[in-house]
Chain A
Amino acid sequence: MTKIGLEIHCQLTNLESKLFCPCKANYREYEPNTNICPICIGLPGSLPRLNQKAIEKASMIAMALNCSTPEKIAFFRKNYFYPDLPKNFQITQLNIYGDTSIGGLGYTMVGEKKIRITRVQLEEDPGRLIYEGSSSKNQTTLVDYNRAGTPLVEIVTEPDFENPKQVREFLNILSDLLQNLGVSDPSLEGAMRADANVSIEGGNKVEIKNIGSFHDLEKAIHFEITRQESLYSRNIPIVQETRHWDDRRKITISARSKEEELDYRYFLEGDIPWIRIDKDTQERLQKEMPESISSKKDRYVSKYGIPAQVADVLSSDKFYSDLFEQSHNEKNAKEIANIITTDLMGLVDTREKREQSKFTSKHLEELADAIQSGKITRNSAKNALYEIVKTGKDLTQIIAELDLGNVSDESEIEKIINEVISQEPQAVEQAKKNPQTINYLVGKVMQKTKGKADPKLTLDLLKNKIK
């Protein structure tokens, strides 16, 4: 049986400051080496100053993953030399000397499959290396420390995945969960990274590092399984090792053995005293935690009768579910869920589009009201939404400007119906024989009214005419 385990790193991008200093946690908009201070570049004499908020947010992640949460946690130093590491050690957590990481054993469900979580720990992100020059001979390495010290949560799973598809599903669930907790925006570049370990029946465990995206992760796991199976079938032993994902060639390559010999000389970080997260604090955090995705979904279904599939889509994306929460009431909930999932999601499907769009929750309320009171058709509503997203104008203004108001005047619709009947004698004959085909004629009426005719009224009138 194939066994796959993951090691996921997720930045707490929504925090104001870095893990141990006042620099911004969201470093992305800065010129290289301008989001730094004596602490995060490790100047002599500087000391880490723990960001308590990071402890709370990481605790929430541990709780959301059903992990055990020790009352006392500690930080350790992981010692190794690397140019992206300003102090040449990383402040991280460790469970060798007792469970002192922020989260212990836990689990999360992927459908019916239970994925066990080994631990959750809080640590600092290193800086970023930028390589310049083509060949290794004339290569220059540039270092940008803007990222150094960003709060990073490491989530390690047991090797419970059986195939890449499960891995992908898990990562989607995890990504939604982190977003829903309001601790991170996984869509930001580099905010969520993952390494994997893969072993097949009868073979050793192989770790794959250096994977740039979740898309590549899936490919890397695929490649690794195939590679191992091919070795196994030829009776070649599978070596326990670390392999790097080659982004260009889409294969894994054995890492130099030197790297495996690294001895991190872990020991307790004396500059940060033990941190107590007592029962009271844990209870408070539990209360402060946003409603979980599954609870939201259940509520949408049971309270508003929203179809399970729609509720699923709506609840798992924090952006849309927040929007829904802000705009809905008992009466319009179903309509708003419908507008969001069938129309809005298509209009603002990227981060840029979301940020540029001008609509508010108030727009959604008005739109739902207009549909429910028959002021506009669903079809026109879709056009209006397009305009709202683009301009942010008032709905009434848009209805007037684009002439989207419903035609519900009987005589006017009758006039158009008469036109259609005279133009489509064949269709009329057919509708008489087979009532199902009357929809074709309704469509024609809609076409002539640019979708503004009240569809129910149109149908009733048409039926009367061609009985």
Chain B
Amino acid sequence: MSLRISALEYVQEVQNGNISAEDYVSKTIEQINNVDENLHAFLQINSEAIDNARQIDKKIKSGKNVGACFGMPISIKDNICIKDSKTTCASNMLENFIAPYDATVISKLKQQDAIFVGKTNLDEFAMGLTTEFSAFGPSRNPWNLDYVPGGSSGGSAVSVSAFECLASLGSDTGGSVRNPASFCGVVGFKPTYGLISRFGLISYANSIEQIGPIARTVKDTAFILNMIAGLDPNDNTTIDNSNQDYLLGIDSGIEGKKIGIIKEMIGEGIDSAVMSATKNAISKFQGLGAVCEEVSLDMVKYSVAAYYTITATEAGSNLARYDNLRYGYDFPVEGYEFNSYISKARRKFGPEVTRRMILGGFVPSSGHAGKYFLKALKVKQKLTQEIDQLFKKYDFLIAPTVPVLPFKIGEKIDDPVALFLVDINTVTANLTGKPAISVPFEISNGLPIGIQIFANSNDDKSLLQAARALESTVKLPEVPI
């Protein structure tokens, strides 16, 4: 039995009785034990995973109703709460935080008999795009261990890429699902804002972030989305998707569709390999019967600045609750008054989080808000107007997910400004609330390149169809793991 199958193939095999959940989950755990010492995708392994799989096998044998996952091993980014287990956000601040409840996505997957093999590594509080800002050490790219896996959902992308699970849930605030998916050669999807409940996702910049699936195929992505999307009374921002089946008609193709290539995302600073991959993708789309032309999204040049201003503001507020009073780490209060205590307690935040919190205290403050925060909101608004205008004419927009190839661990960690520019192609989907997906497309010098497709709000289903169409033209080499 091979681990190298898709999630849907797994379901088929278990249903046909060719493999058991226990077999597959045991092999998965074995794989984790073999490779994760080097990859560091996981912060925690679920010691009951194999027992859970055995229970599900029993259920299958007894002819009882079994959920759609049939014991499928799934990994979860460690900023999503699973009841009675540690949820650390890869931060020393929450090192010992045990969530007293399940995130909505978790309860939905539990109902479908998924098995959570473990919690995956991330940049502390999802702030970063290399997973190097994890308080517990970086993850490594399975394609080349010297390279970063992308971030902030680096652990999730690595675990899917390295067969340590069949699928994963990450979170995407400015590209945190799509960026590591691109760097690790897997599929990463950021849905329309509100399609997936954020209840139980530890907030970083709540007005723009979404939980998103990471999987080995587009169909697996649609399969996971089917189980976790839709209205949730616990998240007032969720939207009613009328129980759409995202798998249904996923092979419809894109003949006759109009695709815009975003000029500002293939401009200055783009790696030549990425540029050539993008050109290849365009001809593939044309070969599939789509019409492609270059379009302009003028506000993109301000998008990263706006993104950091808005996320820092929201982060400053969302992370203010970590004052170590109600939960946290062991640090007695005796001898402190409130303000001196929390300022001392908050020193457990890592450097990147601290940087953004300081920024978040400044940009929306009175006297400066007009110059920074309110201006950023204006950029967000104008960018949304621009992209809405484009979607009147085009079905999809495309661009490379990241304009550069994966880089070496440590290469850019001391250069926050260089790192920020890696976000340029992904933040637009978050600022505008649009769905976007990264599809693995080429390997250059042994490193993956992803192509990103955008669609209009609530067109998630046709977006997956376009992604599937592109994917069908691609055959990547095996991960060297």
Contact = CB atoms under 8 A, between A and B. Distances in A.
Nearest to A143: B325
Given A270-B206, A270-B314, A79 B87 contact: no
A254 interface: no
B317 interface: yes
A83 B320 contact: no
Contacts of B201: 45
Nearest to A258: B339
Nearest to B364: A265
Contact of B320 (A48, A81, A141, A268): A81
A88 interface: yes
Interface string B309-328: 00001101100111101110
Interface string B54-87: 0000000000000000000000000011000001
B321 A87 contact: yes
B207 interface: yes
Contacts of A43: 99-101, 326-327
A47 B235 contact: yes
Given A88-B323, A89-B317, A47 B338 contact: no
A272 interface: yes
Interface residues of A, number: 31
A46 B234 CA distance: 9
A43 B200 CA distance: 9
A44 B202 contact: yes
B320 A89 contact: yes
A47 B87 contact: no
B283 interface: no
A263 B366 contact: yes
Contacts of A268: 207
Nearest to A79: B317
A435 interface: no
B326 A49 contact: no
Contacts of A50: 236
A77 B318 CA distance: 10
B437 to A, nearest CB: 23
B236 A38 contact: no
Given A49-B233, A81-B339, A273-B236, A44 B87 contact: yes
Contact of B361 (A46, A77, A87, A265): A265
B200 A41 contact: no
A270 B373 contact: no
Contact of B364 (A47, A49, A87, A267): A267
Given A81-B342, A89-B317, A44 B235 contact: no
Interface in B304-362: 313-314, 316-317, 320-323, 325-327, 338-339, 342, 361
B246 interface: no
A86 interface: yes
A271 interface: yes
A89 B314 CA distance: 11
Given A141-B338, A266-B364, A270-B206, 19 more contacts: A43-B327, A44-B97, A45-B201, A45-B203, A49-B233, A79-B320, A81-B320, A87-B320, A89-B317, A89-B320, A143-B325, A265-B369, A267-B364, A267-B373, A271-B206, A271-B236, A271-B237, A272-B236, A273-B237
15 contacts: A43-B101, A44-B87, A44-B321, A45-B87, A45-B200, A47-B203, A47-B206, A47-B234, A82-B338, A87-B321, A88-B320, A143-B325, A267-B373, A271-B206, A271-B237
